[in-house]
Structure 1
Amino acid sequence: MHGRRIVAFLVLGLGIFLLVLGPMLRWFVLPRVQVAPYDMDFTDISSGPGTYLDPATGKTESGTLTATRHALGDVAEGKRVGKAVWDISIRLDTPQTIHLPDARQAFNLSVHRWVFDRHTTTSSPCCGGDTGMGADAYLKYPFNTGHHSYRVWDSTAGKAFRADYTGTRTLYGRTFNQYTMIVPPTPIGTIQVPPAVVGQPTRKDGSLITVEEWYHNPAAVNLVDPLTGAPVGGSSHQIVTLRLPGGSKDLATALDVQLQATDATEKALVDKFAGKHDGLALLTGPVPYGMAGLGALGVAAGCVLLLRGRPGAPRHRQATGPAPEPAPAGGALR
C-alpha cells in the first residue's frame, strides 16, 4: 500500500515538474536568451584580388586586398540605454599597407556605431549611432531568419538595400541561409586626384582636381545562421568609380575588388555561434511542448494511482454465488 502511494506521488510530482518546466522554457527562458549581446567582440577578415588607385602615385595597381572588420560592444552604454551598442571599425589594406600597425595608415578606414534593439535588431537613434537606419539587419540579422527579403545596411554606401533569400549553403556540417544584395551606383563623397587620372589636362600649378566617388556592389552575399541571425561568412564585389562633379560618366576606377571571407573567419564564426544555435534549437523546437505533454500524462497517471490506492477505495472482487449441491452418492444420475 505505502509503496504504491510513494510511486503515485513520484509520478505526480514529476508530471507537475514537466508540466511547469515546458512552458517556462518556451515563454520565460527563451525571451531572455534570444537577445543580442552587450559585449560583442569579434573580428572578420575578407580578402581577394583587385585593382586600386594608389593615392601616392595616382596610378592603378593590382594585388590582394584585405578587409578587416572589428565589432566591439560598448557594454556600459548599452546597459545604460537597454540597447546593443556596437562600435565597428573597417580597414581596407593593400599589400603595401597590410603590415602597418596604425589603422589610420590603411588604404581606407571607416568607423561606425550601430545602436539597435537587442530582440528585433531595429536601429535606435541614440548614443551617437550613425549606422543601420531603415535597415532590418547589418552585422546581425533578426532571430529566426526566414526565406524572404531583408533590408540590409551597407556601410560604404551608408544606406540600406534589399537582400533577397537565395537558398542555403552548408559550412562545416551546418546549414545557413544565403542572402544576396545588389547596391546600385551610389555617390559616397569626393576626393582630390591628379587631373590625368580622369583624363583631364594637367594644370600648370600642379594642383589636384575634385572628383566624385561612386560606389556600387553587384553581388554582396551573406551566409546567416537561421536561428541566431548571425552572419558567418560571405562575399562582396566592391567597385568605386570616379566622375567629374555633376557628371554621369565613369572616368576612372579607384577600386575594384572581389572580397571573400577567409576560411579561418568562417570557421571561427561558425564555432562562436554554434552553442547558441543549439540552445535556441532546444527552446524553439518541440522539446518544451513535449515536456508539457509528458507532464500532463504524468499528472493524470499519478492521480489515477492515488485514487486507486486510497483507503476505502472500491476493489474488484471475484464474483461468488450459492455453493453447488454435492453430487449424489455413486456419482451417476439414475
Structure 2
Amino acid sequence: MRRSSWILTGSAVALVAASAVMRFSVCPALHQIPSDADGTFHYKGTASLLNAPALAAGDRAHAFLRDLPVTLDRRITVKDTSGRTAVVLDSAVLRGPDGKPLNAAKHVWAVDRRTLVDRPAPAGSGAEKHTGLVFSWPLDPEKRDYRFWDSGIRKTVPARYTGQETVNGRDAYRYDIEATGPLADPATVEALPKVLPRSAVAALTAVLPAARRPDEAVLADLPEAVPLTYVSTTVRTGWVDANTGLSLNGVLRQTVLARTQGAGGPVTLFPVTDVAVKGTAASVREQAHDASTAQRVWWWLSTGVPLGLLVLAALPAGLAVRSARRPAADRGTAGDEHEGTPAA
C-alpha cells in the first residue's frame, strides 16, 4: 500500500473517531444545565393578602388587600456546579400595582444537571433537603407522571401528565400539580401570627363574603386568645417543551388559610394569602424562542456535526481505496504493452 493510502486511511479513521467522540462523549457532557444559567419568568394576575402592618397597627378596616393586580417574577440562577450537581438559587418576588414588593421567597436547591431531581447537597452550599423535581423539568421530559416538591407543605406530590398541547408554536407536555397540607415553609410560618385576640379574628372574618365566614356561634366559643395554624394549597399547571424540557408557560394558584381548633373540630377562619397568576405573553414568547434555539443547537451538536464528520471521513476513505487499486491496474497496463512489442 502506498504511503498516501496510509495517510488517507488514517485521516478517515481519525474523522470517524472524532464523530464517535462528539456523539457519545462530548454531547452527553454538554447536555446539562449550563454553569452560568440565569433566567427569569414573569407572571401576572391578582392577589388578596392579609395586611400585616395594618393588622399590627390595629387598622382592621384595611386588614385585607383585596384583588390587587400583581406581578410575580421567578428567577432561577445557577450558583455553583460540581460534576452532575448544580446548586441553584430559586427566588420569587410578588409586587403590587405600584411595583413595590408585597412578598418574597428564596430557596437554594441541589439538583441533577440533566434530570433536575434532587442530588446530595455539597458541603456549605446551604441547599435545602427535598425530593423529586422542584423548579423545572428534565431536559428530556417524558409523557408520564413525576414527583414534584412543594415548598409550602415541604412534601412531594404527583405532577400528573395530562396531555400534549401547542404553546406558541411549540409541542408541549402539560403537567398538573396540586398540594395541600399544613403550612411548613419556615420563613412563611415565622412571619405569621401564632395567636390573635378573638376580637381581631371576629373583625377579620366580618369583612369576608358571607359564604366564607365561620359560624358566629363557633366564633363565640373560641378562647379570648385564639391559637392559629395555617393550611397551604398550591394548584399549578406547567406546559413543558417536549424537545428541550424548558418551561414554556405556567398557571399558579396559591392560598394560605388560617385555622384554629374549635369544640367540634378544625375551624377555617380567614385567608392569609390568595395569589392567582399566569405567565405573561412576553415571557411565553421568550421561552418558546429559547427552546427553539436550544433545539437547533442540540441538533447540530448531537447529529449535524457527527454526521458531517462521517461525510468528511468518506472522502479520504474513498481516495485511499482508489489509491490502493491504482498500482495493480498500472501493472496490468505495463504487462499488456510488453506483450504487444515485436521481438527484435
SS for the counterpart of 1:267 is helix
Question: Where in structure 2 are the equivalents of 1:156-175 lying within 5 Å?
Answer: 156-175=152-171
Counterpart AA for 1:276: A
Counterpart AA for 1:123: R
Q: 1:305 to 1:282 in 2, by over 3 A?
A: same
* The one of 22, 27, 40 aligned to 1:43: 40
SS for the counterpart of 2:266 is coil
CA RMSD of aligned residues (A): 3.8
Structure 1 unaligned residues grouped into runs of 5+: 101-105, 320-334
Q: 2:295 maps to what in 1?
A: 277
Q: 2:58 maps to what in 1?
A: none
Contact 2:131 2:156 in 1 (8 A): yes
User: Quick check: 1:215 aligned with 2:232?
Assistant: yes
Contact 2:85 2:112 in 1 (8 A): yes
Q: How many angstroms does 1:296 deviate by? A: 7.1
Q: How many angstroms does 1:117 deviate by? A: 2.7
SS for the counterpart of 1:240 is strand
CA distance in 2, matches of 1:171, 1:18: 40
CA distance in 2, matches of 1:314, 1:178: 70
Q: How many angstroms does 1:278 deviate by? A: 1.8
User: Quick check: 1:116 aligned with 2:111?
Assistant: yes
User: Quick check: 1:231 aligned with 2:240?
Assistant: no
SS for the counterpart of 1:248 is strand
Structure 2 unaligned residues grouped into runs of 5+: 55-61, 206-213, 337-344
Q: How many angstroms does 1:90 deviate by? A: 1.5
Q: Larger helix proportion, structure 1 or 2?
A: 2
Q: How many angstroms does 1:31 deviate by? A: 2.0
Q: 1:314 to 1:34 in 2, by over 3 A?
A: same
Q: 1:299 to 1:250 in 2, by over 3 A?
A: farther
Q: Deviations over 1:154-190 (max 9, x none)?
A: 2333332211222233334322222221213443347
* The one of 121, 124, 127 aligned to 1:125: 121
User: Quick check: 1:63 aligned with 2:68?
Assistant: yes
Q: 1:30 to 1:90 in 2, by over 3 A?
A: same
* The one of 75, 88, 97 aligned to 1:86: 88
Q: How many angstroms does 1:310 deviate by? A: 2.0
Q: 1:258 maps to what in 2?
A: 276
SS for the counterpart of 2:158 is strand
* The one of 150, 160, 172 aligned to 2:146: 150
Question: How much identity, in percent, do the aligned residues show?
Answer: 22
Q: How many angstroms does 1:240 deviate by? A: 1.9
CA distance in 2, matches of 1:14, 1:303: 10
User: Quick check: 1:28 aligned with 2:25?
Assistant: yes
CA distance in 1, matches of 2:121, 2:285: 33
CA distance in 2, matches of 1:148, 1:19: 37
Contact 2:143 2:161 in 1 (8 A): yes
Query: Normalization by structure 2: what TM-score?
Result: 0.72
Q: Which has the larger radius of gyration?
A: 1
User: Quick check: 1:195 aligned with 2:201?
Assistant: yes
SS for the counterpart of 1:107 is strand
Counterpart AA for 1:258: A
Q: How many angstroms does 1:314 deviate by? A: 6.1
CA distance in 2, matches of 1:86, 1:230: 16
Q: 2:172 maps to what in 1?
A: 176
Contact 1:239 1:257 in 2 (8 A): yes
Q: 1:110 to 1:201 in 2, by over 3 A?
A: farther
Counterpart AA for 2:71: T
Q: How many angstroms does 1:147 deviate by? A: 0.9
SS for the counterpart of 1:235 is strand
Q: 2:339 maps to what in 1?
A: none
Counterpart AA for 2:69: T
Q: How many angstroms does 1:13 deviate by? A: 6.9
Q: How many angstroms does 1:112 deviate by? A: 0.7
Contact 1:176 1:226 in 2 (8 A): yes
CA distance in 2, matches of 1:186, 1:295: 62
Q: 1:295 to 1:49 in 2, by over 3 A?
A: same
